[in-house]
């Protein structure tokens, strides 16, 4: 199991953000997370990534506590905006995880790929010296993905990473992400607002219910691999989409 | 499907054609008008300044205003030329006090801002005091510092430094806190230590804020230096201002004022150039 949550809940003061979440996320799987606004999708990623502690229950990553997994760099996080450091070049931003955490004395794992090769993997070779403001929104997000991969994590947590991008860029990055997922074998947990994106990317779609945030259902997406954007025009795809839309409506 | 595909495409092609044709006719007409635009941008303020100087020159001569009340620009120009060694002799001490005060005041402000950001208790204890000191006019605080430290270099640097201190403190605190919550989450996921967050994230992201404060300080430190030389100093542009005022040497006074603002501009430009080199994002 890449991650397993059992009866986990998150409270902010008196407010229950997530309640009684139990999930088993298998190694190498691609999960997308859907749900109405405020249902705790982001909080769930933050729970898994040791940013917020569980109030009750347990969260384990590869059989370790979330803290141990964080110190071992077992997971990486991609935020909605790229959160690149504006004074660092693309390459220097990708190298950031290799420089941080040394003072804590943690062993920083180095992936098989160098930061330069990772920039090539996300299609940014030749732009390694560019500063973030010289790159487009899609390029910045690709740098962020390369940065997330630099320590070769087993689990990739993505919080609406393509939410702010235009449709065409989003399609291209979705396909690129699927290729990276296939090539690296990383487990993905991908939060999105978009039903088509959730169906296109996910092997499993986790539907959350709001007030308090809890699991509504897990929908297995049985579509042929490798996935392609053309898949969206097929009747099966539309069947999944309309099912999820109905499910989202009565959340 | 076929109808939808055919129809809009033909219209689209036509519209784009019209647009490019328009653009082509427009551009050659705009290019020649751009160069005079740039010239006017420079010429208008320069001409205004020349006209004002001429009005001043002829006004003073026409109404026969005595030189000790208001000297003509030519009188000031003559002093700038003839008394240049005297002006420079007084320029360098003021320059030194300004620059040393600039560094002392700003370094103190930066260090205190760093402690404020790391300790809420320190901020709560000392920030009101910093505000209080800032509310005292520099003219009132200068004699106090001269009484404490004597009329030497130390008191002058203290006064020039004090005037730089507050804007830099406020901006630096804001700059060090201007890190997005997501960036801090990233740092936590990377298990970054406090010092790594400071050196690799907080400090660089505060630099644009720091430089806007340094630009203010570059001009105010000269004011501080001049005020400090009003009290018991015998050299410096401040002392020369007092001396020439009391001796009714108005052209020299004007020339000294001109030199002081030149010093401010020099320091301001140095800070601006440094900013361009350092803050490249």
Domain ranges of chain B: 1-64, 73-278
Same domain, A42 and A166: yes
Same domain, A20 and A141: no
Same domain, A219 and A160: yes
Using CB atoms, which residue from B186, B189, B193 is nearest to A104?
B193
| A85 vs B: CB within 8 A | yes
- What residues in B contact A79, CB-CB < 8 Å? 182, 185-186
Tokens of B207: 């630099």
Same domain, A8 and A98: no
Same domain, A158 and A66: yes
Walk along chain B (281 residues) and give the pLDDT tens digit of each residue: 444 444 444 444 444 444 444 444 444 444 556 667 888 888 999 999 999 999 999 999 999 988 888 899 999 999 999 999 999 999 999 999 999 999 999 999 999 999 999 999 999 999 999 899 889 998 999 999 989 988 889 999 999 999 999 999 999 999 999 999 999 999 999 999 999 999 999 999 999 999 999 999 999 999 999 999 998 788 999 999 999 999 999 999 999 999 999 999 999 999 999 999 999 88
Domain boundary among A152, A167, A194: A152
The nearest CA of chain B is from the CA of A69 a distance in Å of 10
Q: What is the pLDDT of residues A57-108, one digit of tens each?
A: 999 999 999 999 999 999 999 999 999 999 999 999 999 999 998 877 788 8
Burial of A94-107, coded b for 16+ CB within 10 Å and e otherwise, reads bbbbbebbeeeebe
Q: What is the pLDDT of residues B229-246, one digit of tens each?
A: 998 788 999 999 999 999
Q: Give the mean model confidence (pLDDT) for residues A25-34.
A: 94
Q: How many CB pairs under 8 A join A and B?
A: 68
Same domain, A142 and A214: no
Rounded to whole angstroms, how far apart are CA atoms B135 and B141? 10
pLDDT of B68: 87
Same domain, A108 and A127: yes
How many domains is chain A partitioned into structurally? Answer: 2
The nearest CA of chain B is from the CA of A97 a distance in Å of 6
The nearest CA of chain A is from the CA of B206 a distance in Å of 11
Same domain, A142 and A215: no
- What residues in B contact A86, CB-CB < 8 Å? 205, 281
| B188 vs A: CB within 8 A | yes
Same domain, A157 and A242: yes
- Indicate the DSSP class of residue A134: G
Domain assignment of residue A220, given as a range = 3-74+153-249
B73-278 has which fold?
MetI-like fold (1.10.3720)
Domain boundary among A152, A182, A204: A152
Same domain, A126 and A188: no
- What residues in A contact B204, CB-CB < 8 Å? 85, 87
Tokens of A13: 């003061």
| B178 vs A: CB within 8 A | no
CA of B191: which chain A residue's CA is closest?
Answer: A101
pLDDT of B13: 42
Rounded to whole angstroms, how far apart are CA atoms B212 and B171? 8
Using CB atoms, which residue from A49, A101, A131 is nearest to B281?
A131
Rounded to whole angstroms, how far apart are CA atoms B73 and B58? 10
| B201 vs A: CB within 8 A | yes
ipTM of the complex: 0.92
Domain of residue A230, CATH code: 3.40.50.300
The nearest CA of chain A is from the CA of B192 a distance in Å of 4
């Amino acid at each position: 199991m890449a991650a397993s949550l059992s009866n986990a809940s998150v409270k902010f003061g008196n407010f229950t953000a997530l309640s009684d979440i139990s999930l088993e996320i298998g190694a190498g799987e691609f999960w997308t997370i859907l749900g109405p606004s405020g249902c705790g999708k982001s909080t769930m990623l933050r729970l898994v990534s040791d940013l917020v502690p569980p109030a009750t229950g347990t969260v384990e990553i590869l059989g370790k506590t979330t803290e141990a997994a964080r110190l071992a760099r077992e997971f990486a996080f991609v935020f909605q905006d790229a959160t690149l450091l504006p004074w660092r070049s693309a390459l220097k931003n990708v190298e950031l995880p290799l420089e941080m955490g040394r003072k804590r004395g943690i062993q920083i794992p180095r992936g098989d790929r160098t930061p330069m090769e990772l920039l090539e993997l996300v299609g940014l070779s030749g732009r390694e010296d560019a500063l973030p403001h010289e790159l487009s929104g899609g390029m910045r997000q690709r740098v962020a993905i390369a940065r997330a991969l630099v320590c070769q994590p087993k689990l990739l947590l993505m919080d609406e990473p393509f939410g702010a991008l235009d449709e065409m860029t989003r399609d291209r990055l979705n396909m690129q992400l699927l290729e990276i997922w296939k090539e690296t074998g990383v487990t993905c947990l991908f939060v999105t607002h978009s039903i088509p994106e959730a169906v296109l990317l996910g092997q499993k779609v986790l539907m959350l219910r709001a007030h308090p945030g809890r699991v509504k259902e897990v929908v297995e997406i049985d579509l042929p691999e490798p996935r392609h954007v053309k898949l969206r025009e097929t009747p099966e795809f539309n069947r999944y989409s309309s099912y999820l839309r109905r499910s989202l409506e009565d959340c | 499907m076929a109808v939808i595909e055919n129809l809009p495409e033909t219209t689209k092609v036509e519209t784009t054609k019209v647009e490019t044709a328009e653009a082509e006719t427009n551009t050659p007409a705009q290019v020649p008008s751009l160069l005079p635009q740039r010239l006017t941008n420079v010429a208008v303020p320069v001409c205004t300044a020349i006209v004002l100087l001429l009005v001043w020159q002829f006004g003073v001569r026409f109404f026969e205003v005595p030189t000790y009340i208001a000297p003509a620009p030519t009188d000031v120009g003559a002093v700038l030329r003839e008394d240049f060694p005297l002006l420079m002799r007084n320029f360098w001490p003021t320059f030194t006090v300004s620059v040393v005060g600039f560094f002392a005041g700003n370094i103190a402000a930066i260090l205190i801002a760093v402690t404020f950001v790391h300790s809420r208790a320190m901020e709560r204890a000392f920030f009101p005091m910093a505000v209080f000191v800032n509310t005292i006019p520099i003219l009132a605080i200068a004699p106090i510092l001269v009484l404490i430290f004597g009329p030497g270099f130390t008191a002058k640097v203290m006064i020039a430094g004090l005037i730089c201190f507050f804007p830099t403190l406020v901006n630096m605190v804001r700059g060090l806190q201007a890190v997005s919550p997501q960036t801090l989450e990233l740092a936590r996921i990377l298990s970054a230590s406090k010092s790594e967050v400071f050196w690799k994230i907080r400090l660089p992201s505060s630099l644009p804020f720091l430089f806007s404060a340094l630009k203010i300080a570059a001009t105010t430190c000269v004011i501080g230096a001049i005020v400090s030389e009003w009290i018991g100093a015998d050299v410096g542009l401040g002392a020369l201002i007092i001396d020439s005022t009391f001796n009714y040497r108005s052209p020299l006074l004007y020339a000294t004022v001109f030199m002081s603002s030149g010093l401010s501009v020099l320091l301001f430009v140095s800070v601006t150039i440094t900013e361009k080199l350092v803050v490249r994002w």
